């Protein structure tokens, strides 16, 4: 991870000067937020997007897989292909009574937009659309192509969403050159952090077998909890790598342990342990599997392990997209952004392996997935202008 420092040479008027009631982006975000698109539902969001994109000259292609709705839209046939990627699905609201306002009835109060999807990520989608409208009207004969890859499966299992669309595009040799993912990346100020990569995610479900018995007769049983404890301790203490310039050190975290019948006087026959690695480019998934099994074998455990690779680490170190994004943020927001690979996974993990340059840029992420999710309303106009400026730098 590193910060990139430049001298800001452009000022930008305060977003508070914007009359929010006239904000095209804000009003569109609110319209999208009223749609109860809890994953994997789209609830008409993509149709609303098509209603905006088609008059601008986009060819819109629905790509449904199983119960997931996906949209691939493209304007132009030339390269480079600059793609906006995101998702219309949102996570469940939790108890609606705990919200200050109904979660699917967006409200602006004291300059803050409240509602499910405000930050993750219907605000970004609205900013995508308005930035595209503005750019196409100013540059009807722009270079290259503008594309949209939108799914309703990002918050779910991510099986029938972006990954399937990318596979379809790859099969017909249709390539994305540069991709802006609208995930909420910012920390304190809109645009202060962009993700130019993500760590890989490798999960495991470990079953350690013992022998069930009575706690009063441990010599007649084998307690898998006792047997596994030293191995788990060693896994937790292991230094997997030191990270590098862009990635923190690989981490190992146990998320769930379950064993026993519920009775206090029974030694369990099996132990289930769920754990996850978030790993850097210093290691591969196969490295982690091999080293994990070596530790388990060293402790003589009788075990089975099921691995799930959710995503490989990826990095867009440099190139036209990173340069354009950093410059656009500096010119519009007047701040110096930081390149980061921290946080969880995103659908960028499915797009980057095709050779595309990928960055994630969106609003503040402080309240995503929470009750009373919100963003500063004026930030959506700032984000719109940044997206438009990126298009100008790449395609004008």
Where in the sequence numbering do the catalytic residues fall?
A: 89, 154
Q: Is 233 left (phi over 0), alpha (psi -120 to 50) or beta?
A: alpha
Extract the tokens encoding 334: 């007047």
- Residue 183: closest CA among 166, 196, 199: 196
DSSP letter assigned to residue 111: T
What is the Rg, in whole angstroms, of the alpha carbon atoms belonging to the chain? 24
Beta carbons of 74 and 146 less than 8 angstroms apart: yes
363 neighbors 184 (Cβ within 8 angstroms): yes
Confirm if 131 and 56 have CB atoms less than 8 A apart.
Answer: no
Beta 338-340 vs 200-209: how paired, if at all? unpaired
The owner of tokens 């080293």 is 291
In which element (H, E) is residue 237 found? Answer: helix 224-237
Residues 6 or more apart whose CB falls under 8 angstroms from that of 17 comprise none
User: For 238-365, where are the alpha helices, taking DSSP H only?
Assistant: 285-298, 320-333, 348-351
């Amino acid at each position: 991870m590193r910060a990139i420092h430049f001298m800001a040479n452009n000022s930008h008027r305060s977003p508070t000067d914007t009359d929010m009631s006239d904000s095209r982006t804000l009003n569109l975000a609110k319209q999208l937020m009223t749609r109860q698109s809890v994953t994997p539902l789209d609830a008409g969001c993509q149709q609303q997007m098509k209603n905006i994109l088609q008059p601008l000259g986009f060819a819109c292609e629905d790509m449904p897989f199983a119960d997931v709705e996906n949209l691939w839209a493209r304007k132009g046939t030339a390269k480079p292909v600059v793609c906006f990627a995101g998702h219309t699905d949102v996570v469940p609201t939790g108890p609606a009574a705990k919200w200050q306002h109904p979660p699917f009835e967006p409200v602006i109060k004291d300059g803050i937009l409240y509602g499910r999807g405000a930050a993750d990520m219907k605000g970004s989608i609205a900013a995508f659309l308005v930035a595209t409208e503005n750019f196409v009207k100013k540059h009807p004969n722009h270079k290259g192509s503008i594309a949209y890859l939108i799914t309703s499966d990002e918050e779910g299992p991510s099986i029938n969403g972006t990954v399937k669309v990318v596979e379809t595009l790859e099969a017909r040799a249709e390539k994305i050159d540069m991709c802006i993912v609208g995930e909420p990346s910012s920390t304190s100020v809109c645009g202060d952090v962009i993700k130019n990569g993500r760590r890989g995610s490798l999960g495991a479900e470990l079953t350690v077998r013992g022998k069930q018995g009575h706690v009063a007769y441990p010599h007649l049983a084998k307690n898998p909890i006792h047997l596994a404890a030293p191995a788990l301790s060693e896994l937790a203490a292991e230094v997997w790598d030191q990270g590098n310039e862009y990635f923190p050190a690989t981490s190992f975290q146990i998320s769930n342990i379950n064993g026993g019948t519920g009775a206090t006087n029974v030694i369990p026959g099996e132990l289930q342990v769920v754990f996850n690695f978030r790993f850097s480019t210093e290691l591969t998934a196969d490295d982690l599997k091999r080293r994990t099994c070596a530790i388990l074998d060293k402790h003589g455990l009788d075990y089975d392990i099921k691995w799930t690779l959710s995503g490989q680490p990826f990095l867009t170190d440099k190139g036209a997209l990173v340069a354009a994004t950093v410059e656009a943020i500096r010119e519009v927001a007047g701040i110096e952004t930081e390149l980061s690979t921290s946080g969880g996974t995103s659908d960028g993990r499915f797009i980057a392996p095709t050779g595309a340059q990928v960055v994630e840029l969106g609003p503040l992420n402080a309240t995503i997935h929470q009750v009373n999710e919100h963003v500063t309303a004026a930030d959506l106009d700032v984000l719109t202008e940044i997206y438009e400026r990126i298009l100008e730098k790449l395609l004008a």
